Each structure stands twice: as structure tokens, then as C-alpha cells.
């Protein structure tokens, strides 16, 4: 572990929960952002099928 000296400054009983908490908060922020800014993500979580895209052939 190349950052082993961090535990001389911060006790592992404090640092590990802080790190895990920060990861959890970051994940919640990312998922909340996806849910509020996209229409497909909520549908994906609800198990709805994806909308079909129909390709139109170019006119000649």
C-alpha cells in the first residue's frame, strides 16, 4: 500500500467509514443526476423495454 502513512494521521476507525461514506454519497449523486436529467434511465430501472428506432432509407 503506497499510502500507508495516512493512517498515522487519521485512525482507520474514522478514515474507512469516511471513505466508504464519500463513495456512497458520490454514487447517489450520480444516480440522482441520471434520474432527473434523462428519460430512459427511470424506464430502464422500471424494466420497461427500450424505444425502438426505425431507420429510414435515404430517398433516391
Give me the half-sphere count of Cα atoms (radius 13 Å) on the Cβ side of residue 51.
7
The 10s digit of each residue's pLDDT in 9-58 is: 889 899 999 999 999 999 999 999 988 898 888 788 888 887 777 778 78
Q: Are 41 and 35 contacting, i.e. CB atoms less than 8 angstroms apart?
A: yes
Residue 24, pLDDT score:
98
31 is in an annotated binding site: yes
pTM of the complete model: 0.62
Q: What is the CA radius of gyration of the chain?
A: 22
Q: Which three cell numbers stand for residue 3?
A: 499510502
Amino acid at each position: 500500500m503506497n499510502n500507508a502513512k495516512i493512517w498515522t494521521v487519521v485512525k482507520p476507525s474514522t478514515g474507512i467509514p469516511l471513505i466508504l461514506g464519500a463513495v456512497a454519497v458520490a454514487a447517489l449523486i450520480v444516480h440522482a443526476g441520471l434520474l432527473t436529467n434523462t428519460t430512459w434511465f427511470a424506464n430502464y430501472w422500471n424494466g420497461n423495454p427500450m424505444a425502438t428506432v426505425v431507420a429510414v432509407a435515404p430517398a433516391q
